[in-house]
Amino acid sequence: MQNTVAYFCLTAGWLVLIISLAFLILSTFKHTHFKQVLLRYLNTALVWQLLVTLVFIMNNTTATLNNFIISCGLIITLQLLCNLACYLGLKRAKAKGRPSLDHFSMD
């Protein structure tokens, strides 16, 4: 039963990661508000994946846990990269939308 739940959560983690990547690719064509909502979604997905991983690590101490940890570690690493890419894109979009004083003349 625990293996079934673990594999279900692992599959759900991969699906969340694929959805995150699709939204990240789509965010290049969208406005800043979409990127802000996407960053909130990515942060929620990352917290969910961390909690699922921690729960299964705490409950299982078997030798088969090693493959699960490697898979979850890969998912979490890729999710962190998605979060970082979205954050940098949002930061760049905000900087592009906000004029700085360098563009104005003092005359």
- pLDDT tens by residue, 49-82: 888 888 777 777 665 677 777 888 888 888 898 8
> Under 8 Å CB-to-CB from 35, ≥6 apart: which residues?
27, 86, 89, 90, 93
Mean of all residue pLDDT scores within the chain: 78
Considering the entire predicted model, what is its pTM?
Answer: 0.73
Give the per-residue pLDDT at 85: 86
Give the per-residue pLDDT at 29: 72
**Confidence band for 94, pLDDT divided at 50, 70 and 90:** confident
In angstroms, the CA 73 to CA 35 distance is: 25
Judged against a pLDDT cut of 70, whether residue 1 lies above it is answered with no
Domain coordinates of the chain in residue numbers?
A: 2-96
> Under 8 Å CB-to-CB from 86, ≥6 apart: which residues?
24, 27, 35, 38, 39, 42
Q: What is the DSSP letter of 61?
A: -
Vertex 91: Cα angle to 90 and 92 (nearest 5)? 90
Which is higher by pLDDT, 71 or 98? 71
In angstroms, the CA 64 to CA 40 distance is: 33
**Confidence band for 8, pLDDT divided at 50, 70 and 90:** confident
Q: Which residue has the tokens 């965010």?
A: 27
**Confidence band for 100, pLDDT divided at 50, 70 and 90:** low
